[in-house]
Chains A and B, each alone.
Chain A
Amino acid sequence: MMTFLRKQGYLLDFTLSSLLRRKGKNLGLLLVYALIVFMLASVMLFTHALRKEAGLVLQGAPEIIVQRMVAGRHAMIPADYLESIGKVRGVSGKRGRLWGYFYDPAVGANYTVMVAPDRELAVNEVVIGRGISRTRGIGIGDYFSLRSDDGKTFVFQVGALLDAESELFNADLVLMSGKAFRKLTGISEGQFTDIVLEVRNPREVGKVAEKLAAKLPDTRPILRDEILRTYDSLFAWRQGIVFVLLAGSLLAFVIFAWDKASGLSAEEKREIGILKAVGWETGDVLRMKFWEGAVISFSAFVIGYVAAYLHVFYSSAVLFEPVLKGWSVLYPQFSLVPFVDGLQLATLFFFTVFPYIVATIIPIWQTSITDPDAVMR
């Protein structure tokens, strides 16, 4: 056992000195390789953390949202629907919500305007998300004006800013009182945008939705799980798009690695011949080259992954922000909670390190099985 370990030590030692002898070439390879791992790992870490974050935030969301549909389009829902719904068994809480979108031509962005359910706001007071605060350059105590649907300008004072922790969801949010919202949008009393329901027993959610659909045929119930699934597939789709874009560079890397590995230089071939002539077995040469591939690919993997971790969790994934994060002009700024998924890590490792080692071993095997007397010629 000691002999085996000592032998591996000697092979590794020789490998490291070989790598250092071709510093420029190997450093270039290491950088390109690490960059590929960095990009793939960034996308994976980022989308995974976003999905995780979305899931955590949505845990506090209502179990069912009921929307009224007119000709297949979302329409205002009358307040008396609340009464009808209230009689469905299993529903433990219900309230009407008022919300909508507001386009601000000054910054070219859409705000989500909503009536705060748990805040008592004055008619002229608003609470805004940090995205709006940054874009409009306003803070607490500043004034904020919106034009109503009939052309009048309403001036609000910013009473507070929304939490930075949940900026993924509230970057573009404006909270105001119900009265102000109705004045601004012209939605009459007795109408809501939609209704949210709480269901105590999660197993009953499906049943309640079924009963609602039967009882109020002009409505559609939207379940929290469906929203979660939508977020999940949205981020998965974005991740897929980025992976497709990265496929080109990945392919370029494969060609580069294959070329590097299969196109053994005359000097490398000669070295393999010398090693065999002085008593190394084919297996020793292969093990040495295996260590070489392992050192390069493992270092590149660690460097790339750590860089991606820092990029995603400490610099808010600046490189992928426009593609992966948000969908409005007001990009949220937030730090994701660091989260590493073991399976994801293993997948990335398998798809980056393993093919490289195989790609480098095969051509060397072809060279190393030739008779060592080639070195005499």
Chain B
Amino acid sequence: MDIQLTDVKKVFNQGRHNEFWAIRGISLRIKANSVTCLKGASGSGKTTLLSMIGCLSRPSSGRIMLGERMLSGLPERFLTDIRRHTFGFIFQRFNLIQGLTVLENVMLPAYPLAPRHTTLRDSANRLLEHFGLGRVKDSPVQWLSGGESQRVAICRALINDPQILLADEPTANLDTGISREFMGLVEDLRQSGKTILITSHDPIVFESSAVQSVVEMSDGHLVKA
């Protein structure tokens, strides 16, 4: 399913002295089964746009369509439902829950869907094995290296088998080698049929051959589409 944005705007603290327009009218189509990179400097509005596409927040105006379905304007309950079934998130600082094991972190997004415990554990174990994390699955996440944490975050994003993966500055805390490795994983995921949207200002990401489309942003506008 393609994602279609039409004149999307986002304002924070509207009507107050510190009113701030983070997104100033963006229209954009993101193709299904592709890797798209939102490129731009800090404060350009990449993360805000990503969070609106991923139903983490709503646009102040404009429309966001997922296939035939309009996401903007849906109440929170529906947004949560779409979020948990359609989107998988990989955050900049990985946002793993400290103190929990790798396996528990990966299983976390599936808890509200309440699948059978054995089914869930098996899926999580398969993912962890696939990403080479089988031996650390019972370790607390704070013991992991940056690259391992990144892969745990990917496993967590994939546990509910979402169609679309959203990654916010996924290589910001990684060295060059691990960043390239990450882009290799992204290509594998695209080949398995996923749509991937990445925000980044890291050349390793937007110059990668895994990326089909680069969208540049500046001050809440599109520079090039």
Which A residues form the contact surface with B (CB < 8 A)? 3-4, 6-7, 9-11, 14, 17, 21, 267, 270-271, 273-282, 284, 371-373, 375-377
Contacts and interface: CB of A to CB of B under 8 A. Distances in A.
A279 B111 CA distance: 9
B108 A373 contact: no
Nearest to A22: B99
Contacts of A284: 111-112
Contacts of B84: 278-280
A21 B156 CA distance: 20
Nearest to A275: B108
Interface of B: 47-48, 50-51, 56-58, 76-77, 80, 83-85, 89, 91-92, 95, 97-100, 104, 108-109, 111-117, 156, 160, 168
Given A6-B114, A7-B111, A271-B97, 19 more contacts: A3-B114, A4-B114, A10-B111, A17-B104, A21-B100, A267-B98, A277-B83, A279-B85, A279-B109, A279-B160, A280-B109, A282-B76, A282-B80, A284-B111, A371-B57, A371-B58, A373-B48, A375-B91, A376-B168
Given A17-B100, A271-B97, A280 B112 contact: yes
B11 to A, nearest CB: 14
25 contacts: A4-B114, A6-B115, A10-B112, A14-B104, A14-B108, A21-B100, A277-B56, A277-B83, A277-B89, A279-B80, A279-B83, A279-B109, A279-B160, A280-B84, A280-B109, A281-B77, A281-B112, A282-B76, A282-B80, A284-B111, A371-B51, A373-B56, A373-B57, A375-B91, A375-B95
A275 B111 CA distance: 10
B150 to A, nearest CB: 16
A284 B110 CA distance: 12
Contacts of A6: 114-117
A370 to B, nearest CB: 10
B156 A376 contact: no
A372 B95 CA distance: 12
Nearest to A4: B114
A376 B112 contact: no
B56 A278 contact: no
B48 to A, nearest CB: 8
A299 B91 CA distance: 37
Given A3-B114, A371-B57, A376 B83 contact: no
Contacts of A9: 114, 117
- The 7 A-B pairs with the shortest beta carbon distances in the complex, nearest first, are A279-B84, A21-B99, A373-B51, A7-B114, A373-B56, A10-B111, A278-B109
A282 B114 CA distance: 16
Nearest to B87: A279
B47 A377 contact: yes
A61 B134 CA distance: 78
B79 to A, nearest CB: 9
Contacts of A270: 95
Chain A interface helix/strand/loop/mixed:
helix
Contact of B47 (A4, A273, A275, A376): A376
B89, B98, B115 interface centre (most CB from chain A within 10 Å)? B89
A9 B112 CA distance: 10
Contacts of B160: 279
A132 B156 CA distance: 74
B95 A277 contact: yes
Nearest to B107: A10
Chain B CB count within 10 A is highest, among A275, A278, A284, for A278
A319 B99 CA distance: 40
Nearest to B168: A376
Nearest to B100: A17
A145 to B, nearest CB: 72
Contact of A281 (B56, B80, B104): B80
A181 B73 CA distance: 95
Contacts of B168: 376
B112 A279 contact: yes
A4 to B, nearest CB: 8
A277 B112 contact: no
A376 B56 CA distance: 9
A279 B54 CA distance: 11
Contacts of B51: 371, 373, 376
A37 B13 CA distance: 46
A274 B89 CA distance: 10
